[in-house]
Amino acid sequence: MEKEVSFQKVRYDEKRQRILESAGKLFAKKGYEKASLEEIAAKLKLKKGTLYYYIKSKEDMLFQIQMQSLEKVNHLVDEIVKTDMSASEKLVEVIKATVKNSTRAYVIGCINQQEFVFPEKMKKQIIAERRRYHDAFLGIIQQGVKEGVFEEDNWKMRAFGALGAMNWVTRWYSSRGELSPEEIGSAMADFVLKGFGKLYQK
Amino acid sequence: MEKEVSFQKVRYDEKRQRILESAGKLFAKKGYEKASLEEIAAKLKLKKGTLYYYIKSKEDMLFQIQMQSLEKVNHLVDEIVKTDMSASEKLVEVIKATVKNSTRAYVIGCINQQEFVFPEKMKKQIIAERRRYHDAFLGIIQQGVKEGVFEEDNWKMRAFGALGAMNWVTRWYSSRGELSPEEIGSAMADFVLKGFGKLYQK
């Protein structure tokens, strides 16, 4: 009996995930505002009523996708921060992981959506996850400043510049483009490292 | 008679501009999705019906503000490109002008709003203005590559990184922050110039 229940749970979760991924791709294509639940249901050959068995609203889908993506990238960043790599190495790995995470087909149309759209409780959770990322990122920059490889002058502005260079990728990335997310991540990491004045050390 | 008509026109335009600026500030505070025409009218002590004498819809306001901001920055960029400054000097000026333009109180909440929200005709105009900016920006980078001061390797990725560092400012800028838009522009310009490998030349 127990087993059957958990099998149902797995099936439920898989289906829910499939719905989220389909919705996320539609958000990327049409924009969050213009995509409708009817269209998401139609794409999955489901009745709109069935959709509500898995998700509460369009907002809820956007929220779930953003949280999945933020939790995943924060987990990856935690793993990177824990290592004994240098700040430069950590920065390269974090940028590569972030670009790869945020360019995934069902994530890319959701990740830049601002938090205004959410009710207070969801907004707080999103902001807390973003804050975690942000603090870890700034921690790596501070490590680099301490190691003497990143310029101290205006280090916070440089950190924001780096976040921008990286986060902006989702605004221009195309899966049909010449470069893979990995190659884009490497190129951005190189740009950012130079921006931190790493060249002074060579 | 002629004079009176044009006086009315000036008054109309001024009032329309005041409405746009008030709406833009509300978009920045609450997010475009959550701000309503009722609220915009109430802030201006106008009836909602009166608002329609000046603007067609919420969408129309967002469009007008984006276009004003894009046209203004494109005009500034044209002036900078025309000069005989070096690519590095032009890049610094363009970044400073862009940050100053996009952090204006009524612009900042609108500029990052994606074009999905617009009907086809508006979308095309926004994309065309963005394209103009983008092409001018890439032109400066290409000039720098020719001058031998910007690294050729991955120059397009670096250009996108620079656009990201600069465009991301509207996501974290606060008018109550320590640095002015001019100081932020200078810091970003320095970060970006280093990212283009300018240090190799010094």
User: What ipTM goes with this model?
Assistant: 0.89
Best residue in A103, A163, A194, A198 for a mutation probing chain B (most B CBs within 10 Å):
A194
CB contact under 8 A, A166 and B164: yes
Q: How far is A165 from chain B (nearest CA, A)?
A: 4
Q: How far is A99 from chain B (nearest CA, A)?
A: 12
Note down pLDDT in tens along chain B; length 202 residues: 556 678 889 999 999 999 999 999 999 998 888 899 999 999 999 999 999 999 999 999 999 999 999 999 999 999 999 999 999 999 999 999 999 999 999 999 898 777 778 889 999 999 999 999 999 999 999 999 999 999 999 999 999 999 999 999 999 999 999 999 999 999 999 999 999 986 544 4
Q: Tokens in use for B31?
A: 């997010």
Residue pair A110/A68 in contact by the 8 Å Cβ criterion: no
Number of other CB atoms surrounding residue B17 within 10 Å: 14
Q: Tokens in use for A27?
A: 């958000």
Full-model pTM: 0.91
Q: What is the pLDDT of residues A27-73, one digit of tens each?
A: 999 888 889 999 999 999 999 999 999 999 999 999 999 999 999 99
Residue A139 contacts B where some CB pair is shorter than 8 Å: no
* Residues comprising chain B, all counted: 202
For residue A77, which phi and psi values (nearest 5 degrees)?
Answer: -65, -40
Q: How far is A114 from chain B (nearest CA, A)?
A: 8
Residue pair A186/B181 in contact by the 8 Å Cβ criterion: no
- Single out the residue of A133, A147, A129, A170 nearest to residue A89, CA to CA: A147
Tell me A177's DSSP state.
Answer: S
Chain A environment of B166 (Cβ under 8 Å): 164
Residue A31 contacts B where some CB pair is shorter than 8 Å: yes
As a whole number of Å, the end-to-end CA separation of chain A is 65
Residue pair A104/A182 in contact by the 8 Å Cβ criterion: no
Residues A53, A58, A63: CA angle, nearest 5 degrees: 100
CB contact under 8 A, A166 and B169: no
Residues 6+ apart with CB under 8 A from B17: none
Q: Tokens in use for B76?
A: 């500034």
